[in-house]
């Protein structure tokens, strides 16, 4: 997954992107949230692969997996 999700401070404000392209992980997540299927996303972005979409979802899951302290 690490090779599919890249961070470049000179691109997209350093936000996580797919394989150095200007397609952010956030963009992929927003497309899913808008109801698009993997097939639709891949058709709209022919430079992406199914593994890129899986990596974006895995990245997001890992980023939100942290303990929440309740006081």
Q: What is the pTM of this model?
A: 0.87
Q: Are 61 and 23 in contact (CB under 8 A)?
A: no
5-63 folds as: Arc Repressor Mutant, subunit A (1.10.10)
Domain boundaries, the chain: 5-63
* CA dist., res. 23 & res. 18, Å (int): 6
Per-residue pLDDT reduced to its tens digit, 7-65: 999 999 999 999 999 999 999 999 999 999 999 999 999 999 999 999 999 999 999 88
Q: How far apart, in Å, do the first and last CA atoms of the chain sit?
A: 35
């Amino acid at each position: 997954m690490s090779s599919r999700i890249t961070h470049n401070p000179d691109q997209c404000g350093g936000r996580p992107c797919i394989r150095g392209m200007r397609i952010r992980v956030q963009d992929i997540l927003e497309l899913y949230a808008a109801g698009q299927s993997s097939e639709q996303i891949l058709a709209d972005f022919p430079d992406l692969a199914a593994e890129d979409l899986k990596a974006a979802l895995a990245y997001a899951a890992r980023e939100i997996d942290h303990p929440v302290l309740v006081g």
